[in-house]
A and B are shown apart, each in its own frame.
Chain A
Amino acid sequence: MNSTTMTKPVLAARGIRKSYGRGTARFDALDGVSLEVYAGQSIAIVGKSGSGKSTLMHLLALLDSPDAGEVMVGETDAKELSVKQVSRMRNEDFGFVFQQFFLNPNATVLDNVVLPLTIAGVAAGERKARGMAALQQLELDDKAKNKAVNLSGGQKQRVVIARALVNNPKVIFADEPTGNLDTMTGALVEDILFSLNKDKGITLVIVTHDPELAARCDRQIFIRDGREVGSLENPGAAQ
């Protein structure tokens, strides 16, 4: 709670429920979870696999809509946003980092990084400039012309972060960002994420089952069987 910008949540969930399947096969992924994400905060959603933590992130990232409850974006109920507005918000305000990198292996590093800008329809020249700037930030500018398939795991995850960063997002959603990396590179990627949070004020929403990564966040939310089972504030989180 060391920030002055924590008065208004950028994202909030109020009693959201989400279930998959029907009848006897029905599975409640989320069963009434409430959560507030403040600007500039780093928040960890912690739980075992199948606990519903990824579903919670998807709902917060407007990739899906809850069966019940509300997801608030600033002051607006996400239900009231049009498909186009939601798409634009994901494109401009959100960045995504996934455990599996989802890079196009045959495209160049630069092309992969500027994908959100390409989708937004930004002109090629500006795309290149902003893509190179993002790569520079992650010290990957010398790899810009390499094919993504030729990079190491750590480099790939840094490309993914550059891609999440290229549109200057307000929030970065990271789903198990270090799950596929060894301890060393994992720690490096964590450092990058937290420095973005600290230096640029980008809000971090991290889904993880790694207690060490979770401990570095301002706040931890524990999820089990679709319910919040506890939370922990780390005022002096190691950043």
Chain B
Amino acid sequence: MNVLDIIATAVGNTFRSKLRTTLTVVAIFIGAFTLTLTSAIGTGVSSYLDVQLASVGTTDVLSISKTAEDAPGLGDGPAKYDPEQARADGVPSPEAGFSTGVLTNSDLDKIGSTSGIRDVNAVVSLTASYIEHDNNGKYQVAVSENADLTTADLASGSQLTDSADDNQILLPASYLETLGLGAADAAIGKTVTIGIADYNGAMHEVHATITGVQNLTLLGAGVRLNQALTNELFTVQTDGEPVDYERGYFLASAHFDPASSEEQVAAIKADLAEQGYTAQTLADQIGVFQAILTGIVAVLNGFGLIALLAAAFGIINTLLMSVQERTREIGLMKAMGMGGGRVFALFSVEAIFIGFLGSALGALAAIAAGSIASNVLANTVLADLQGLQVLQFAPGRVAGIVLLVMLIAFLASTLPARRASRQNPIDALRYE
């Protein structure tokens, strides 16, 4: 039998017992459907993270904090007093746990003199009180502290210019309507007023021009300020502070040569770690998200695979019944000189075809259902996460799943196909 005849015969045999084939196909369908959806979630979420990473793009910045000392164990008694650290005082930030140390100016000098670091800036906490546009009412405002570490994912307008002397501001898209700014395009170029209190509590107003509107991102949902505006606000905020006040910072950002290789960056990080600082690139920070999501998606994929495993036993069962039913036919073909290998091929091709049918239909149904669900979710529950399509169907992955199912079907077929190929024609043809 040549290959085409084997395939044609096997496909024909598949449809001989339609109900049985259909039931087996349904079992595979469920597994392939699940696996296609879960892998689409993986693709969708990780591509969202990639976009986030690309949008934050600044690959030459490290965010540096003091490495947290291990909290003393229950029976260890209090830790030793460190006068240097105790004098430093930072504005508590929600990200900073209590065990996180504070960076002092001498820390910044040490970081700055580390080889490979070009410059270092403390990330200052600005507690602006309100934001207002054109007397449309005052609203609370959150300032994105690590704006320097990232570039914004823009809905319209342009990025901030840190070297510019004028005050620039980027607003999240969600601010526009509240502030009475209208559409994203219309907001560009308009002026907003930021209210900020000085050390003694007196309110001051600072004006800034909107240069861009950003989509909501995972990293920082607040407004972004350029260096000129940051400096002006910080000056206002610290106005009236005692002269010998030792300021502490939770975070510093440092630039390194953008052309550095991964090994060089790793060396800088190791160097800083030795001095007691934790340094992370943005890729590191996003990597944490990715690791968690990869884990979740792997578990979901596991469920899909379990469904396929169950379906594999369905295939074995179906084929065993087929072999049983076709004992005479197999015997006759063997009597007529058909080799065992060809008989094996006939049954495994049948299984592979069943696997193909189930997985192709399952994948198509998953794509149809997933696309609808994804659009509905993007417009409702996940509307705040702009640009997130939870389910994305990568052609390569879908094809991979179909091939995987066909492989599983083949493996499932080996037992019944072997039984068929070893059948003795005499036993099959004997009758009383």
A contact residues vs B (CB 8 Å cutoff): 49, 54, 58, 61, 63-64, 83-84, 87-92, 96, 98-100, 102, 104, 106, 115-116, 118-121
* B342 nearest in chain A by CB position: A119
User: Are B335 and A63 within 8 A (Cβ)?
Assistant: yes
Query: Which of B116-124, B286-294, B423-431 is near enough to bind chain A?
Result: B423-431
Check B373 for interface membership: any CB of A closer than 8 A.
no
CB within 8 Å for A87 and B332 given contacts A63-B426, A99-B431: no
User: Are B338 and A119 within 8 A (Cβ)?
Assistant: yes
Closest chain B CB from A170 CB (angstroms): 14
Check B186 for interface membership: any CB of A closer than 8 A.
no
The interface residues of chain B lying within 8 Å CB-to-CB of A49 are 432
Closest chain B CB from A163 CB (angstroms): 9
Cβ-neighbour of B336 out of A54, A83, A119 (below 8 A): A119
User: Are A106 and B16 within 8 A (Cβ)?
Assistant: yes
Closest chain B CB from A106 CB (angstroms): 6
Give 7 closest A-B pairs by Cβ, nearest first: A91-B337, A87-B337, A90-B337, A119-B338, A121-B2, A102-B332, A116-B336
User: Are B337 and A89 within 8 A (Cβ)?
Assistant: yes
What is the CA–CA distance of A49 and B430 in the complex, to the nearest angstrom? Answer: 12
The interface residues of chain B lying within 8 Å CB-to-CB of A106 are 16
Check B5 for interface membership: any CB of A closer than 8 A.
yes
Interface size for B (C-beta < 8 A) is 23
The interface residues of chain A lying within 8 Å CB-to-CB of B16 are 106
27 sample A-B contacts, Cβ–Cβ < 8 Å, listed by A number: A54-B430, A58-B426, A63-B425, A63-B426, A64-B424, A87-B339, A88-B337, A89-B337, A90-B335, A90-B336, A90-B337, A91-B336, A96-B335, A98-B429, A102-B328, A102-B329, A102-B429, A116-B336, A116-B337, A118-B1, A118-B5, A118-B9, A119-B333, A119-B336, A119-B338, A119-B342, A120-B337
What is the CA–CA distance of A170 and B366 in the complex, to the nearest angstrom? Answer: 58
The interface residues of chain A lying within 8 Å CB-to-CB of B333 are 115, 119
The interface residues of chain B lying within 8 Å CB-to-CB of A91 are 336-338
Interface residues of B in 412-432 (CB under 8 A from A): 424-426, 429-432
Closest chain B CB from A107 CB (angstroms): 8
As a 0/1 sequence over residues 257 to 283 of chain B, the CB contacts with chain A under 8 angstroms (1 = contact) are 000000000000000000000000000
User: Are A96 and B426 within 8 A (Cβ)?
Assistant: no
Closest chain B CB from A50 CB (angstroms): 9
User: Are B336 and A64 within 8 A (Cβ)?
Assistant: no
The interface residues of chain B lying within 8 Å CB-to-CB of A61 are 335
The interface residues of chain A lying within 8 Å CB-to-CB of B9 are 118
CB within 8 Å for A96 and B337 given contacts A63-B426, A102-B328, A121-B2: no
B contact residues vs A (CB 8 Å cutoff): 1-2, 5, 9, 16, 328-329, 331-333, 335-339, 342, 424-426, 429-432
CB within 8 Å for A92 and B337 given contacts A102-B328, A102-B429: yes
* B5 nearest in chain A by CB position: A118
CB within 8 Å for A64 and B426 given contacts A90-B336, A104-B329, A121-B1: yes
What is the CA–CA distance of A83 and B424 in the complex, to the nearest angstrom? Answer: 13
The interface residues of chain B lying within 8 Å CB-to-CB of A64 are 424, 426
* A93 nearest in chain B by CB position: B337
What is the CA–CA distance of A185 and B332 in the complex, to the nearest angstrom? Answer: 24
With A96-B332, A119-B333, A119-B336 already in contact, 16 other A-B pairs whose C-beta atoms are closer than 8 Å: A54-B430, A58-B426, A61-B335, A63-B335, A63-B429, A64-B424, A64-B426, A84-B339, A87-B339, A90-B337, A92-B337, A96-B335, A115-B332, A116-B337, A118-B1, A121-B2
The interface residues of chain B lying within 8 Å CB-to-CB of A102 are 328-329, 331-332, 429
The interface residues of chain B lying within 8 Å CB-to-CB of A119 are 1, 333, 336-338, 342
The interface residues of chain A lying within 8 Å CB-to-CB of B338 are 87, 91, 119
What is the CA–CA distance of A58 and B332 in the complex, to the nearest angstrom? Answer: 13
* A116 nearest in chain B by CB position: B336
What is the CA–CA distance of A214 and B263 in the complex, to the nearest angstrom? Answer: 92
The interface residues of chain B lying within 8 Å CB-to-CB of A98 are 429
User: Are B336 and A96 within 8 A (Cβ)?
Assistant: yes
The interface residues of chain B lying within 8 Å CB-to-CB of A104 are 329
The interface residues of chain A lying within 8 Å CB-to-CB of B430 are 54
